[in-house]
Amino acid sequence: MAVIPAPILRLDGFLGAENAERLHAFAVDHQAEYVAGDVSEFGRQAAYLPIDSPFLRQALANALPLARSVLGIQAPGVKVATQITAYGDGAGFAAHTDAGELGFDPVHQLTALYYFHRRPKPFTGGALRLYDVAAADGKAWRADSYREIEPAFDTLLLFPGTVYHEVLPISCPSGKFADNRFAVNAWIS
């Protein structure tokens, strides 16, 4: 059996601190428009706000050639769906892929996560856990091994939509919406 580390591209300082702070202010100002997350098979989910930002679309488009090269994914980037997620106290998201259980959903070839939050960071937890891939006899599955990536301010992560990943639970003692773990989730095809 072979175990292959999940491929990921990390871009620190992706939008710049000033733009990340503006995005945080926007996210907090639109609190009333978020859709509440449900408790489901994936755990207590975050609240989310669908957005369509030309600025974010362009920033992601600018990163796409590097992502294609590093990750070996040929996502054309024609279709980009984005939302802001706000993970409050106790929220997380169980292991899943963004390409469906079998990895055949062509809609989500590339997943992008952009982290922004109040500084200093008012929450703990919320790491992204990326699972490695186990393979043998022409079959592949989620390995037991993984790596965890902390949600660092103004950082973009890109990885194939077929990679199993989860968000570990958040602890946000203040309970204030502005103190949540925020991310822009984008699915690129």
Q: Which among 67, 82, 85 has a CA at the least distance from the CA of 126? A: 85
Predicted model pTM: 0.91
Which of 34-43, 48-57, 96-105 shows the lowest per-residue confidence on average (mean pLDDT)? 96-105
Could you read off the pLDDT of 94-123 as tens digits, one per residue?
A: 998 888 644 444 556 899 999 999 999 999
Distance CA 37, CA 43 (A): 10
Q: What percent of the chain has pLDDT over 70?
A: 90
* Cα 35-41-47 angle, rounded to 5 deg: 15
- Walk me through the domains of the chain, giving residue ranges and CATH numbers: 2-188 (2.60.120.620)
